[in-house]
Amino acid sequence: MQNLGFIGMGNMGKALATGFIKSGKIKAENVFAYAPNQEKLKENAKGLGFIPLSSLQELTEKADTIIMACKPQQIDGVLQKLVNAYDRQGNGAAVTPDTPSLLDGKALISIAAGWDLAAYQEKLSDQVRIQFVMPNTPAMVGSGVMLFEDRNTLQPKEREQIRDLFSPLGMIAEIPSHLMGIGGAVTGCGPAFVDLMIEAYADAAVKYGVPRGLAYPLVSQTIFGAAKLQLATGMHPAALKDQVTSPGGTTIRGVAALEEYGFRSACIASIDAIMDFKKS
């Protein structure tokens, strides 16, 4: 990988570009991006230092590795443009594995929900080397989870380079294709559920007199610390819970109240709701 090109530079594109550049894994002058709103793109480029481009054609001329970072529903349109631009007659050939596109010969790293290797293989030729990665928003602060679909068509050395590029953004987990959906539900939607928990416990702290400005960091650091302890020790969460629930003590009363109000079932139901929606 020499030059990286982003198709789309929104929230997640910026998070990735920031992590890649700030960690020194790639120089800003080797990072290019295209997005339709050129004013916004140029503004973001000023802050991060990447090079804004005005067309997909220019982007594919500059970059050997492309990150597909637009919305899932925008990808069909992007692929059609990449086929049209290859076919300079502009005949608008259908996007199929038999149709060449400007992605041929490139490595394509896609972060768009639902666009896994199988989805791209229905559209693109085998000249495009493909890897599906699902990051989450804590990647913005180097504490993300990056799910790497285990099936991919990158060259082995190239895949190592891509893993290395993503490594400053957090933990990398290899996931079989059929678990990318549930994995993405837990890690991609999970931050919103934890945010709800932070808000709820902060409300409880405020109820008993803690100033709001103090309540959020107290709760967030508690969640962060408990998660870090579990990761560092590898201990079962129930064993960690048992360590702080002394017989007849206060914590066990709180645990019992959470069970009474269906905390565990509510967590599982939140994931059921996502998976049911994905099926529909």
Ligand X SMILES: NC(=O)c1ccc[n+]([C@@H]2O[C@H](COP(=O)([O-])OP(=O)(O)OC[C@H]3O[C@@H](n4cnc5c(N)ncnc54)[C@H](OP(=O)(O)O)[C@@H]3O)[C@@H](O)[C@H]2O)c1
Residues in contact with ligand X by the rule CB under 6 A: 7-13, 34-37, 40, 69-72, 74, 77-78, 111-113, 134-137, 188
CB of 195 to ligand X, least distance (A): 12
State which residue, 113 or 226, has the beta carbon closest to ligand X. Answer: 113
| Distance set, CA 222 to CA 18, 54, 191 (Å) | 27, 45, 15
CB of 204 to ligand X, least distance (A): 27
For residues 9 and 7, give the distance between their C-alpha atoms in angstroms, rounded to a whole number: 7
State which residue, 185 or 215, has the beta carbon closest to ligand X. Answer: 185
CB of 40 to ligand X, least distance (A): 5
CA 219, 220, 223, 228 torsion-angle sign? negative
State which residue, 16 or 26, has the beta carbon closest to ligand X. Answer: 16
State which residue, 144 or 215, has the beta carbon closest to ligand X. Answer: 144
CB of 216 to ligand X, least distance (A): 21
Contact present, 139 and 19 (Cβ < 8 Å):
yes
State which residue, 5 or 202, has the beta carbon closest to ligand X. Answer: 5
CB of 198 to ligand X, least distance (A): 17
CB of 14 to ligand X, least distance (A): 7
Task: Give the chain's largest Cα–Cα span.
Answer: 79
State which residue, 146 or 215, has the beta carbon closest to ligand X. Answer: 146
Tokens of 149: 């679909």
CB of 263 to ligand X, least distance (A): 24
For residues 87 and 103, give the distance between their C-alpha atoms in angstroms, rounded to a whole number: 12
Pick from 102, 104, 54: which is nearest to 80 by CA?
A: 102
State which residue, 77 or 217, has the beta carbon closest to ligand X. Answer: 77
DSSP 63-96: -SEEEE-S-GGGHHHHHHHHHHHHSTT------S
| Distance set, CA 115 to CA 11, 68, 158, 225 (Å) | 18, 10, 20, 34
- Contacts (Cβ under 8 Å, ≥6 apart) of 225: none
> 156-166 and 11-22 are packed helices; what angle lies between their axes, rounded to 10 degrees?
100
How distant is the alpha carbon of residue 95 from its chain centre?
Answer: 26
Residue nearest to ligand X (CB): 10
State which residue, 35 or 215, has the beta carbon closest to ligand X. Answer: 35
CB of 76 to ligand X, least distance (A): 10
Tokens of 112: 């768009």
